[in-house]
């Protein structure tokens, strides 16, 4: 099944419970990764960890070198990649502190490098992306949530916006009409780049605010921080269960 890598988002500069064995700075053909790649053990099982926003959360979503990050994870031996995502909730059932394992996405980002095949010399490839997430990892994630006693929605569409600003109420209303349940800023191009590299990629999303126009008044950073802290704590047991599942299925 292969080594599991975890990409940490907001609230996950470090991975709770991770015993670090080494952290390696890496350069790739696509430039530098967000932070040194951490090799360690979670609940006794080997994992890789990379904080997407870099040390000290200094990289905004549109400045992250997604290509370098995915490339480095694969070079480090990862075959399965979990992207953690703090998101806003749009539809009923996705209020703050809800967890979801999205099964679809809509990409509203622009100007981000979306492919490893930008080179003229390479024949154009059109990748199937009907199901943007890896079904095996989604199933394991849902099992890990159940094992940790955390209710998680098995169906949710994640709309990925450019950021770094939050959306307007009209933008969120349009996204809802489009069918989005969740809104975040980093789900793409991470998912498609993983697919290009043949990595089994899925996302664990947790809601840290009602999206613009869905709650009462403006979005408060204090409220986001409080929900983020709660979700990070809940995630610790989900991730430990996931690492154990990966190991139990014959992973190295
Ligand atoms: N919008 C976009 N990204 C987010 C949000 C949001 O409301 N909350 C957390 N990440």
Q: What is the distance in A from the centroid of ligand 1 to the CA of 6?
A: 20
Q: Give bridge partners of residue 80 from the DSSP assignment.
A: 4, 200
Which residue minimizes the CA distance to atom 10 of ligand 1? Answer: 87
Sorting pLDDT into bands at 50, 70 and 90, what band is 248?
Answer: low
Domains of the chain: 3-119+128-248 (3.40.50.1580)
Report the pLDDT averaged over residues 18-40.
Answer: 94
State yes or no: pLDDT of 148 exceeds 80: yes
Tens digit of pLDDT for each residue in 108-128? 999 999 999 877 666 667 899
Q: Supply 83's token pair.
A: 């992207």
Torsion angle, alpha carbons of 232, 51, 138, 114, to 10: 140
Q: What is the distance in A from the centroid of ligand 1 to the CA of 79?
A: 28
Report the pLDDT averaged over residues 222-245.
Answer: 94
Q: What is the structure's pLDDT at 184?
A: 98
Q: What is the structure's pLDDT at 251?
A: 41
Which residue minimizes the CA distance to atom 7 of ligand 1? Answer: 88
How many other C-beta atoms can be found within 10 angstroms of the C-beta atom of residue 147? 15
State yes or no: pLDDT of 224 exceeds 50: yes
Give the percent of the chain with pLDDT over 90: 84
Cβ of 207 below 6 Å from ligand 1: no
- DSSP states along 170-227: HHHHHHHHHT-SEEESSHHHHHHHHHHTT-EEEEEEEEEEEPTTTSSSSPPHHHHHHH
Q: Answer whether the bond into residue 164 is a cis peptide, omega within 30°.
A: yes
Q: What is the structure's pLDDT at 91?
A: 98
Residue in the structure block whose two tokens are 């990050």: 69
Which residue minimizes the CA distance to atom 5 of ligand 1? Answer: 88
Cβ of 209 below 6 Å from ligand 1: yes
d(CA 123, CA 115): 13
Cβ of 185 below 6 Å from ligand 1: yes
This prediction has a pTM of 0.95
Tens digit of pLDDT for each residue in 40-83? 999 999 999 999 999 887 899 999 999 999 999 999 999 999 99
Tens digit of pLDDT for each residue in 133-145? 999 999 999 999 9
Pocket test for ligand 1, best of 87, 176, 182 (most atoms within 8 A of CB): 87
Question: What is the chain's mean pLDDT, rounded?
Answer: 93
Cβ-Cβ contacts under 8 Å for 52 (sequence gap 6 or more): 7, 8, 9, 34, 59, 64, 69, 83, 186, 190
Q: Supply 177's token pair.
A: 């009409």
Q: What is the structure's pLDDT at 249?
A: 52
């Amino acid at each position: 099944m292969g080594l599991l890598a975890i990409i940490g988002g907001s609230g996950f500069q470090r991975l709770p419970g991770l015993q670090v064995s080494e952290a390696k700075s890496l350069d790739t053909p696509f430039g530098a990764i967000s932070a040194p790649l951490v090799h360690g053990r979670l609940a006794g099982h080997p994992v890789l960890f990379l904080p997407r926003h870099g040390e000290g959360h200094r990289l905004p979503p549109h400045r992250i070198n997604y290509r370098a990050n995915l490339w480095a994870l694969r070079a480090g031996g990862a075959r399965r990649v979990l992207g953690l995502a703090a998101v806003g909730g749009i539809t009923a059932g996705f209020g703050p502190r809800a967890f979801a394992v999205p099964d679809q996405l809509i990409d509203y980002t622009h100007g981000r490098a979306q492919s490893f095949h930008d080179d003229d010399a390479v024949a154009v490839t059109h990748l199937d992306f009907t199901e943007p997430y890896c079904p095996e990892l989604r199933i394991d994630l849902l099992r890990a949530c159940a094992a940790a006693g955390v209710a998680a929605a098995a169906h949710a569409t994640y709309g990925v916006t450019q950021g770094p600003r939050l959306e307007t109420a009209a933008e969120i209303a349009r996204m809802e009409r489009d069918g989005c349940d969740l809104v975040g800023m980093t789900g793409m191009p991470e998912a498609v780049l993983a697919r290009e590299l043949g990595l089994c990629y899925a996302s664990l999303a947790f809601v840290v605010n009602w999206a613009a126009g869905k709650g009462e008044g403006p979005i408060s950073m204090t409220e986001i921080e409080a929900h983020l802290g709660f979700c990070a704590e809940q995630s610790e047991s989900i991730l430990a269960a996931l690492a154990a599942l990966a190991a139990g299925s014959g992973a190295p």
